[in-house]
């Protein structure tokens, strides 16, 4: 029978809030911004008022760490699940301000209607209505006087029953006596087990991740600057998405603005590039994997706790060294030159817009490769070539789509043992042999998902190779990807619908070309037999209906660039399934030509 590795103790809410205020239970300062809507805070108070359960809180005391002098140091107890609920109570009952996901400091005011025994988010209508107590902090504040509050309410509301109002307000005041179960995980649980528990726990309906746990560990550490490092990660990610928040952070957090991190991210205020907008998970993965040579974030949690993997004990010196090392990785991630070079490499490969970036983890590992290569002082040209080819391979093979942590860990360990260049060339050779382009790729391109990695790679290929749009004389696919050109059905959708085909059949990626809007409109719903014949006539001196190509050699080149079967030059249209099979073959060869051009 398994030994229970936790205890469950009910505690009054008042006691828990006191512990949080005193620091006995640590809620990381900005572990996560407060993401609850005010209505959810209202619902929490109502549940407590009605006597309903509001779930358990889960805490775990950091493992005892050996200090440099050999003496033990008991760590803080971390609230690993329940932060949003506790923050909601601190905000609503005690009037504490919260930091929103938009990095604004706000007060959440919850009002109460004694007659209807109803909580509501404070609003202008409530402000004008004396039947409401506009802020429940008047009931819970340290100077609260329920008798006086009752008298004030009855005086403002003629006809209100003093006894009934007093009774209701006393009931509200007693919700801090309600008990909430605190699950305390055994102090001697190893990091892996606590991480597993952490990941399985749901908080506010969203599954927590190892990155969340790592951020908690970083945020509660003040000894080695973790609290500032946590802010650096969070602020960088926010500024990458919304540069306009620069002044809000600078004014709202002067202590951070005076830190060494602030100058390193100031460049973000002047950029609006959204090709790669990293989350804190992305930043942690890249910084940790590139700097520590490991791919699993639970190892980061262990190292930041001071774990010695050989003795399985915890040492302060290891924690200190790990925080210092992580800081180096975060600094490298935030470096403008590094960040710009990564996005330049992606764009030069044909991935021009964020719409063509569908695997954030593939970008993350490309960044890891780049940072490792920089650290090894590889020549810039060789490094850029290597990163381009690796990223393209990752997209085509879905290398980081199913279990990215395992793949990260495998690749970085192989890089450590074999060397960067040797591992990259070996993987590419194994994953993309000659048979891939002619055998596997055409088969797996049998899909109707326009977000499939193969269609994304095909569009990137056309952009990189300088292909013209379908029937265009001057406008390139690159131009249209940057300006949202049309995806055109070669066999028009309506035409195929009329034949009884389903979306999965007529939306095959092999039935799409990138075309100018006016060409798309001119073709409309015409049967391919009709408009391809008219195109053939156009280059033989006939009426100019579709674009400006009037030369058969230029048309042949345009069809080749857009991977259209040569038989269409004469207006001969194959059966739809035959067309798709031939086009997949040609598209796969175009992607191969692109990949070879990345070298």
Note the pLDDT of residue 373.
97
Kind and range of the H or E run holding 445:
none
448 CB-near residues (< 8 Å, 6+ apart): 503, 504, 505, 507, 508, 509
Q: What does pTM read for this prediction?
A: 0.79
Residue that has been written with the tokens 């915890």 in this structure: 314
CA atoms within 13 A on the CB side of 292: 28
Cβ-Cβ contacts under 8 Å for 562 (sequence gap 6 or more): 462, 467, 469, 470, 513, 514
Give the CA dihedral 521, 525, 527, 528, nearest 10 degrees.
Answer: 40
**Which residues are bridge partners to 206 per DSSP?**
203
Q: What is the pLDDT of residue 529?
A: 95
Beta strands in 186-341 (DSSP E): 202-203, 206-207
The pLDDT assigned to 206 comes to 45
Residue 204, pLDDT score:
42
Q: What is the DSSP letter of 266?
A: G
What was the pLDDT predicted at 205? Answer: 42
Residue 240 neighbours by CB under 8 Å, 6+ apart: 268, 276, 277, 278
Helix, coil or strand: residue 292:
helix
φ, ψ (nearest 5 deg) of residue 318: -70, -40
Residues 6+ apart with CB under 8 A from 243: 268, 269, 270, 271, 272
Task: Collapse the DSSP code of 128 into the 3-class scheme (helix H, G, I; strand E, B; otherwise coil) and give the result.
Answer: coil
- The alpha-helical segments, DSSP class H, found in 293-438 are 297-304, 316-334, 336-348, 360-375, 380-397, 404-418, 420-431, 434-435
Residue 231: what are its φ and ψ, rounded to 5°? -65, -40
Q: Position of tokens 């306009």?
A: 244
Question: What token pair was written down for 220?
Answer: 């509660």
Q: What CA–CA distance (Å, rounded) separates 130 from 215?
A: 44
Calculated CA dihedral for residues 570, 571, 575, 580, nearest 10 degrees: 80
**Residue 515 near residue 485, CB atoms below 8 Å:** yes
Cα(28)–Cα(532) distance, integer angstroms: 65
How many whole angstroms separate alpha carbon 494 and alpha carbon 563?
A: 22
Beta strands 105-106 and 98-99 are antiparallel
- Give the SS3 label for residue 5: coil
pLDDT, residue 149, reads 94
Q: Residue 355 corresponds to which tokens in the numbers above?
A: 């719409």
**164 half-sphere exposure, CB direction, 13 A CA radius:** 10
* Distance, CA of 159 to chain centre: 55
* Tokens 């007529």, located at residue: 506
Distances (CA, A) of 483 to 235, 346, 477, 480, 517: 31, 18, 10, 5, 11
Q: Look up residue 75 and give its DSSP letter.
A: P
Sites in the chain below the pLDDT cut of 70: 1-3, 26-33, 62-76, 101-104, 190-192, 195-196, 198-208
What is the maximal distance between C-alpha atoms in the chain? 97
| Residue 547, CA distances (Å) to 79, 471, 474, 567 in order | 64, 6, 10, 20
How many CB atoms lie under 10 A from the CB of residue 148?
A: 11
Closest CA to 27 of 57, 50, 6: 57
Q: Are strands 72-73 and 25-26 parallel, antiparallel or unpaired?
A: unpaired
How many angstroms separate the CA atoms of 414 and 400, rounded?
Answer: 16
Across 332-341, b (16+ Cβ under 10 Å) vs e yields bbbbeeebeb
Encoded tokens for 155: 């005086």
Sorted by sequence, the CB contacts under 8 Å of residue 401 that are 6+ apart come out as 359, 361
- Paired strand residues for 182: 9, 57
> What is the per-residue DSSP string for 462-525?
HHHHTPBPTT-SS-BHHHHHHTTPEEEESS-HHHHHTTT--HHHHT-GGGEEEE-HHHHHHHTT
Torsion of CA 268, 274, 276, 280, to 10 degrees: 60
CB-based contact 191:165 (threshold 8 Å) = no
């Amino acid at each position: 029978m398994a030994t229970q590795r936790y205890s469950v103790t009910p505690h009054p809410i008042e006691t828990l809030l006191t512990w949080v205020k005193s620091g006995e239970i640590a809620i990381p300062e900005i572990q996560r911004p407060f993401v609850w809507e005010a209505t959810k805070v209202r619902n929490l108070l109502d549940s407590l008022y009605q006597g309903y359960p509001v779930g358990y809180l889960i805490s775990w005391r950091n493992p005892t760490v050996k200090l440099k002098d050999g003496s033990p140091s008991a760590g803080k107890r971390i609230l690993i699940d329940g932060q949003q609920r506790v923050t909601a109570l601190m905000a609503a009952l005690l009037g504490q301000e919260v930091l929103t996901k938009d990095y604004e400091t706000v007060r959440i005011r919850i009002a109460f209607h004694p007659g209807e025994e109803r909580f509501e988010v404070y609003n202008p209508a409530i402000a004008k209505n004396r039947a409401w107590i506009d802020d429940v902090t008047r009931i819970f504040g340290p100077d609260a006087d329920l008798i006086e509050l009752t008298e004030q309410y009855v005086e403002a509301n003629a006809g209100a029953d003093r006894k009934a109002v007093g009774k209701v307000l006393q009931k509200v005041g007693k919700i801090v006596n309600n008990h909430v179960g605190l699950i305390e995980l055994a102090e001697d649980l190893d990091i892996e087990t606590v991480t597993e528990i952490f990941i399985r726990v749901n908080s506010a309906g969203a599954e927590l991740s190892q990155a969340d746990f790592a951020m908690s560990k970083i945020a509660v550490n003040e000894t080695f600057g973790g609290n500032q490092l946590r802010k650096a990660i969070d602020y960088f990610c926010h500024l990458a998405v919304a540069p306009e928040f620069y002044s809000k952070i600078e004014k709202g957090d002067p202590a951070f603005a005076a830190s060494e991190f602030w100058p390193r991210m100031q460049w973000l205020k002047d950029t609006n590039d959204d090709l790669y907008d990293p989350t804190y998970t992305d930043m942690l993965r890249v910084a940790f994997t590139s700097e520590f040579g490991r791919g699993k974030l639970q190892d980061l949690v262990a190292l930041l706790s001071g774990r010695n993997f050989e003795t399985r004990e915890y040492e302060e010196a290891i924690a200190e060294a790990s925080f210092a090392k992580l800081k180096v990785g975060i600094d490298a991630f935030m470096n403008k030159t590094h960040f710009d070079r990564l996005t330049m490499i992606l764009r030069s490969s044909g991935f021009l817009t964020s719409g063509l970036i569908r695997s954030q983890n593939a970008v993350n590992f490309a960044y890891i490769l780049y940072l490792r290569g920089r650290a090894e002082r590889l020549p810039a040209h060789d490094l850029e070539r290597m990163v381009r080819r690796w990223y393209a391979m990752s997209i085509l093979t879905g290398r980081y789509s199913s279990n990215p942590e395992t793949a990260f860990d495998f690749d970085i360990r192989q890089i450590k043992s074999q060397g960067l260049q040797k591992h990259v060339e070996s993987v590419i050779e194994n994953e993309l042999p000659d048979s891939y382009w002619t055998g596997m790729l055409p088969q797996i391109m049998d899909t109707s998902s326009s977000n499939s990695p193969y269609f994304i790679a095909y569009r990137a290929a056309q952009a990189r190779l300088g292909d013209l749009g379908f029937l265009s004389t001057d406008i390139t696919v690159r131009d249209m990807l940057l300006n949202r050109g049309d995806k055109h059905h070669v066999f028009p959708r309506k035409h195929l619908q009329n034949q009884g085909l389903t979306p999965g059949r007529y939306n095959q990626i092999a039935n799409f070309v990138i075309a100018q809007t006016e060409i798309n409109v001119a073709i409309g719903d015409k049967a391919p037999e009709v408009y391809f014949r008219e195109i053939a006539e156009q280059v033989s001196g006939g009426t100019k209906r579709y674009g400006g190509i009037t030369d058969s050699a230029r048309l042949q080149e345009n069809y080749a660039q857009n991977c259209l079967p040569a038989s269409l030059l004469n207006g001969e249209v194959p059966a739809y399934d035959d067309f798709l099979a031939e086009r997949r073959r040609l598209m796969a060869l175009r992607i191969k030509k692109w990949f070879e051009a990345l070298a």
